[in-house]
Structure 1
Amino acid sequence: MQTQTITFIILAGIIALLLALFQYAYKAKLKGKRAWILTALRFVSYFSIFVLLINPKFDKVTYYNEKPNLVVAIDNSESISYLNQSQNTSEFIKSLKANEELNENFNLEFYRFGNEVISTDSLSFDEKQSNLALVFERLSEVYNNSISPTLIISDGNQTYGNDYAYMNKRYKQSIFPVILGDTTTYTDIKVQQLNVNRYAYLKNKFPVEVIATYNGNATVNTQLRVSAGNSTVFSKPLTFSKTQTSQIVNFTLPANRVGVTSYRAQVVPLDNEKNTVNNVKNFAVEVIDQKTKVAIVSNILHPDLGALKKSIESNEQRNADILTTQEFLNKSNDYQLVIVYQPTNNFRTLFNEIDKLKLNKIVITGTKTNWALLNKLQSNYKQELTNQDEEYQPSLNQNYGTFTVDNLNFGEFPPLKGEFGETSFTVPFETILYKTINGTQIDEPLFATFEINDRREALVLGEGLWRWRAQAYLNENSFNAFDNFMGKLVQYLSTNKRRTRLNVNYESFYNGNDNVRITSQFFNKNYEFEDNANLNITLKNKETDDVKSFPFVLKNTSYEVDLSGLEAGDYSFTVKVNNENISKSGELKILDYNVEQQFLNANVTKLRTLATNSEGTSYFIDNTSALANDLINDSRFATIQKSTKKVVPLIDWKYLLGLIALSLAAEWFIRKYNGLI
């Protein structure tokens, strides 16, 4: 309490006493015990009221005990049941919950993980992937500022994500792996990895790389066979020994017919081999008979050019060349789409050539664009000339219906820089992204598409797309989101197919552990997105004739269905709009491959490394009796007494108000009883 406040309280006490004495000892001239009682009551009333007016503040300290957290992350992938550890895992979780002393010393928090990390202790051991690195990324967001020793109950076999062995640099907690499985070594040959391009071109040969590994001591002979259907298309004998434990086989296969062709790569199993599932890998290649070639034409240097090329070529079906206007004119017949980047004074001949060949194009403008010339070279839009630049942030048009546009959190993207002033269109157009200035969206396009005379065109009114690609990577740790966005724009502009009301997006084939998701869009007769449509997909397994139907679910500006639970095989499907005579059919293939069944043992070395680096201890699931006692007796995880200090004003103290009321009531009663009122 401050000295000034104490001084005011002392003065309040003196004034209260003087007033009480003045009223009862001087003015009323009362004597005896009754006078002193009334004086004391009046003093208490005055003093309490004065103190309330001063309202001093006091520090209120509260003490409490804070237990550390015990975070339990459980591997819920199929490999746990494949290694016959699901029962042991469930019983171990029950023992943790039933341990009273452990629960008394820790706050137990349970998570399960596979592809994602979920706060729950419900286990099914049916997830197709296991991403241990994601566990530490998610837990670090919650527990890095607390004492939270962590149990990782897993076989340590990761099928997806970054290497987790050194994640303790990010996750600042002691990690105690509980190892599911044993260290028994079995003789095993497997296809460790298979590398092949997803697409090939008709009448070409495509490369395949197979990496086969061996675990054993004896010298063994086997054979690598690659078959398509019932025909063997490649074979090679392989020899392994204790010192020669891996071989890399490179070969090429012919692409003789258009469409998806499935292949089976197999290392012939040994006689005493326990796991033969990992001897086989299925793969597929889609053969196409054309490749979209895109010309990026510019006479200036800008990082957007490289970003566009990388984005377009992320799809193997597309090739992009960065050219000057003269280079393009020398081989203009080689391209199906032209990206005109910031046209300057010598682009007149280029536009004439594009019009002569009736090519679709994307025009990207910026601070170096000669708008006076561009306004003359075409009549579809006009830009107001102000000779001033402006920065425009994007805002997604949720009603854009020409093709599906995923929301990439465009509002967080850096602004594009372009000409200040209104852009007016003389043809019907659709806006993909609106301009936003200083947080206010204006009714002008930043990205727009339009169709005129059987030709398609897009207009981008700003430079700086390379920043968008970089931002997409920061958001998702991948360029895929931005590349897919640009890929859909290129795909739309690379074809002159008639527009349809129902669009379905899918892959020709999916690997066994991929998420099988199909998206679609449905538009009304005015080609406006219909968000209350009822879409269903009917799939037929070509081998078993089994038919299944699934409804689509609305997700932002498209409909989506998740078919990840389907068994491997060839399927034909039909997407139909209920109450409309509109449907679209196609075919897809799901390859047979379960990455979780490729392991024979727990990855003991990596889990022990994780424990050592984080100052933890590893345990085998069959020897966890000491785990609870080790955690309870570890001084690093003791319960801590903490305190909180809160500044409390006196006016919040209700007892003082009660004291004032009581003293005034007592004084009134005594005065009334003695006839002084």
Structure 2
Amino acid sequence: MQTDTLTYLIISGVIALLLALFQYAYKSKIKGKRAWFLTTLRFITYFSIFVLLVNPKFDKVTYYNEKPNLVVAVDNSESVSYLKQSQTTTDFIETLKSNQELNENFNLEFYSFGKEISPSEAYTFDEKQSNLALVFDRLSEVYNNAISPTLLISDGNQTYGTDYAYMTKRYKQPIFPVILGDTTTFTDIKIQQLNVNRYAFLKNKFPVEIIATYNGNTAVNTQLKVSKGNTTVFSMPLSFSKTETSQIITFTLPANRVGVTSYKADVIALENEKNTINNVKNFAVEVIDQKTNVAIVSELLHPDLGALKKSIESNEQRKAEILNTEEFLKKSNDFQLVIVYQPTTNIEKLYAEIDRLKLNKIIVTGIKTNWNVLNTLQSSYKQVLTNQTEDYQPSLNQNYATFSVDNLNFSEFPPLKSEFGEIKFSVPFETILYKSINGEQIDTPLLATFETNDKREALLLGEGIWRWRAQSYINDKSFNAFDNFIGKLVQYLSTNARKTRLNVNYESFYNGNDNVKITAQFFNKNYEFEDNANLNITLKNQDNDEIQSFPFVLKNNRYEVDLSGLGAGNYTFTVKVNTENFSTSGELKILDYNVEQQFLNANVSKLQSLASNSKGNAYFIDNTTSIIDNLLNDSRFATIQKSTKKVVPLIDWKYLLALIAFSLAAEWFIRKYNGLI
């Protein structure tokens, strides 16, 4: 309590006593014990009221016990059941849940993981992928500030994501791997990896790289065969030994037919080989007869140029080349799309050539754009000149209907720098991204598309898009989302196909472990997106004539259907709008491949290394009797007594109000009883 407060309380006590004595001692007719008793009651009343006015504050300390968390992350992938560990895993989890002493000393939190991680206490062991790095990435966001030893129940075989061996640098908790499997090794030969481009061009040859590995102690001979249907298109003998455990085989295959072609790579199994599934890998290549060449024309050097080139070339069907105006004019016939970056002076010849060839284009402006020239060379839009710059952040137009645009959390992207002032369009246009200043969206486009004279054009009003690509990588640990966004814009602008009311987006083929998702958009007669349409997809398996039908689900400005549960095979499909007479058809192929069935053993060494680096211990699932005892006896995981200190004002103390009421009531009763009222 502060000195000033204590002084006020002493003064309050003196004043309360003087007032009470003045009423019942000074010239009062009441004498004896009654006078002193009434004086005391009145003193209590006055002093309590004065104390409430002073309102001193007191520290209230509360003690509580905080138990550590015990995080249990369970591998829910198919490899667990393939290694015949699903029942053992389930029994061990039930042991943890039912152990009373463990529950008294820890807050048990259960998670299951495959390609994603989620809180769960039910396990099906049917996930197609396992991403262990994501487990520690997500758990670090929740548990890094509390004592949270972690049980990782897994075989340690990762099929997706970054290497989890280095995640202990981020996840600062002891990790106790419970290893599903044993150290028994089997003679095995397998295709460790197969590398092939997704696309090839007609009448070219495409490269294939196969890495075959061997696990065994004796020298063996076998053969690699690559077949297309019943025809062998490549074969090669292979030899392995205890010291020569891997071979890299590189060859090329011809691309003679447009469309998707499936192949099967097969290493002939050894005698008594336990796992022959990993001897085979199916792959496919889509052969196309054209390639989109994009010219990026600029007289400036800027990081945006490299970012655009990388995004465009992330799709093998596209090639981008950075040129100045003179270089472009020499080879202008080679391109199907032109990106004009920050047009400055001397661009009249460039615009004349683009118009002569009737090429679609993307105009990217910035602080060095010569708007006097640009306003003169075209009539579709005019920028009001202010000779000032402004930073604009993007805001996605959810109603953009020309093609589907995924929301990349654009509002969190860094701003682009651009000319300050209004942009006025003289042609109909559609806005993909609006400008936003300090979180407030303004009704001015940052990125827009429009069509004039059967030509398509996009206008990006700002420089610094390289930062968007970098931010996308920070958000998703991958450039794919941003590159797909640029890819869709380039795809739209590199063709002059007429608009259709029903657009369906899909891949020609999917690997067995891919997410098979098809998206669609349906527009009304004014080409405005319909958000209340009823879309269905009907698939026919060409191998067994089985027919299945699935509804689309509305997600933002598109419809989506998830077909990830489909088996391998060739499918034809029809997407139909039930409310109107619109439909479109196509074909897709799902390749037979299950990455979770490629393993014979747990990755023991990696899990033991993970335990050692995090100051934990590794256990085999068949020897788990000591896990609970070790956790309970580890001094690092003791229950901690903590306290909270709270400053409480006296006015919140209800007993003081009760005391005032009691003293006033008692005084009134005594005076009434003695006839003094």
Distance 1:71 1:234 in 2: 50
Show CA shifts across 1:20-57 (max 9, x none).
11211113142211111111111111111111111111
Q: How is 1:285-324 mapped onto 2 (pairs within 5 angstroms)?
A: 285-324=285-324
Show CA shifts across 1:109-147 (max 9, x none).
111111111111110000000111111111111111111
CA drift of 1:345 comes to 1.7
In the alignment, what sits opposite 1:347? Answer: 347
CA drift of 1:438 comes to 3.6
Distance 2:365 2:255 in 1: 41
Distance 1:102 1:94 in 2: 12
Show CA shifts across 1:345-376 (max 9, x none).
21111111111111111111112222111122
In the alignment, what sits opposite 2:338? Answer: 338
Distance 1:121 1:436 in 2: 44
In the alignment, what sits opposite 1:378? Answer: 378
Show CA shifts across 1:155-190 (max 9, x none).
111111111123211111111111111111100000
Distance 2:218 2:607 in 1: 28
Distance 1:228 1:467 in 2: 44
Shifted more, 132-141 versus 445-454: the winner is 445-454
Distance 1:324 1:373 in 2: 17
Show CA shifts across 1:470-502 (max 9, x none).
111111111111111111111111111111011
In the alignment, what sits opposite 1:518? Answer: 518
Q: How is 1:60-459 mapped onto 2 (pairs within 5 angstroms)?
A: 60-459=60-459
Secondary structure of the corresponding residue to residue 26 of structure 2: helix
Secondary structure of the corresponding residue to residue 656 of structure 1: helix
Q: How is 1:467-546 mapped onto 2 (pairs within 5 angstroms)?
A: 467-546=467-546
Shifted more, 445-454 versus 656-665: the winner is 445-454
CA drift of 1:436 comes to 2.1
| Mapped contact 2:394–2:410 kept (Cα < 8 A) | yes
| Mapped contact 1:182–1:602 kept (Cα < 8 A) | yes
In the alignment, what sits opposite 1:44? Answer: 44
Distance 1:139 1:432 in 2: 36
Q: How is 1:583-662 mapped onto 2 (pairs within 5 angstroms)?
A: 583-662=583-662
Q: What one-letter code is carried by the residue in structure 2 that aligns with 1:151? A: L
Secondary structure of the corresponding residue to residue 186 of structure 2: coil
Q: What one-letter code is carried by the residue in structure 2 that aligns with 1:248? A: I
Q: What one-letter code is carried by the residue in structure 1 that aligns with 2:648? A: V
| Mapped contact 2:533–2:579 kept (Cα < 8 A) | no
In the alignment, what sits opposite 2:53? Answer: 53
Q: What one-letter code is carried by the residue in structure 2 that aligns with 1:14? A: V
Which structure 2 residue ranges, 5 or more long, are not aligned? Answer: none
Distance 1:97 1:388 in 2: 65
Q: What one-letter code is carried by the residue in structure 2 that aligns with 1:565? A: G
Distance 1:370 1:646 in 2: 63
CA drift of 1:387 comes to 2.3
User: What is the number of residues matched between the two proteins?
Assistant: 677
Shifted more, 195-204 versus 340-349: the winner is 340-349
Secondary structure of the corresponding residue to residue 97 of structure 1: helix
Distance 2:439 2:126 in 1: 46
Which structure 1 residue ranges, 5 or more long, are not aligned? Answer: none
Distance 1:82 1:662 in 2: 77
| Mapped contact 1:166–1:613 kept (Cα < 8 A) | no
Distance 2:230 2:78 in 1: 30
Q: What one-letter code is carried by the residue in structure 1 that aligns with 2:290? A: Q
In the alignment, what sits opposite 2:6? Answer: 6
Q: What one-letter code is carried by the residue in structure 2 that aligns with 1:235? A: S
Distance 2:634 2:398 in 1: 56
| Mapped contact 1:198–1:284 kept (Cα < 8 A) | yes
| Mapped contact 2:267–2:279 kept (Cα < 8 A) | yes
Q: What one-letter code is carried by the residue in structure 2 that aligns with 1:575? A: V
Distance 1:45 1:385 in 2: 77
Q: What one-letter code is carried by the residue in structure 2 that aligns with 1:366? A: G
In the alignment, what sits opposite 2:570? Answer: 570
Distance 1:401 1:70 in 2: 48
Secondary structure of the corresponding residue to residue 625 of structure 2: coil
| Mapped contact 1:447–1:460 kept (Cα < 8 A) | yes
Distance 1:380 1:351 in 2: 14
In the superposition, the TM-score normalised over structure 2's length comes to 0.99
Distance 2:166 2:377 in 1: 59
Q: What one-letter code is carried by the residue in structure 1 that aligns with 2:478? A: S
Show CA shifts across 1:396-437 (max 9, x none).
111111111111111122222222222222222111112223
Secondary structure of the corresponding residue to residue 616 of structure 1: coil
Q: What one-letter code is carried by the residue in structure 2 that aligns with 1:227? A: S
Secondary structure of the corresponding residue to residue 435 of structure 2: strand
Identity value in percent: 79
Distance 1:378 1:43 in 2: 92
Q: What one-letter code is carried by the residue in structure 2 that aligns with 1:571? A: Y
Distance 1:602 1:389 in 2: 59
Q: What one-letter code is carried by the residue in structure 2 that aligns with 1:332? A: S
Distance 1:76 1:40 in 2: 75
Distance 2:497 2:64 in 1: 71
Secondary structure of the corresponding residue to residue 400 of structure 2: coil
Distance 2:446 2:100 in 1: 62
Show CA shifts across 1:547-589 (max 9, x none).
1111111111111110000000000111111111111111100
Distance 1:4 1:401 in 2: 70
Distance 1:328 1:170 in 2: 48
In the alignment, what sits opposite 1:27? Answer: 27
Distance 2:406 2:629 in 1: 51
Distance 1:343 1:231 in 2: 55
Q: What one-letter code is carried by the residue in structure 1 that aligns with 2:541? A: N
Distance 1:316 1:146 in 2: 47
Q: What one-letter code is carried by the residue in structure 2 that aligns with 1:546? A: E
Distance 1:674 1:350 in 2: 112
Shifted more, 360-369 versus 386-395: the winner is 386-395
Distance 1:82 1:527 in 2: 50
Distance 1:444 1:646 in 2: 51
Secondary structure of the corresponding residue to residue 26 of structure 1: coil
Q: What one-letter code is carried by the residue in structure 2 that aligns with 1:250? A: T
Shifted more, 661-670 versus 7-16: the winner is 7-16
Distance 1:27 1:187 in 2: 114
Q: What one-letter code is carried by the residue in structure 2 that aligns with 1:369? A: T
In the alignment, what sits opposite 2:671? Answer: 671
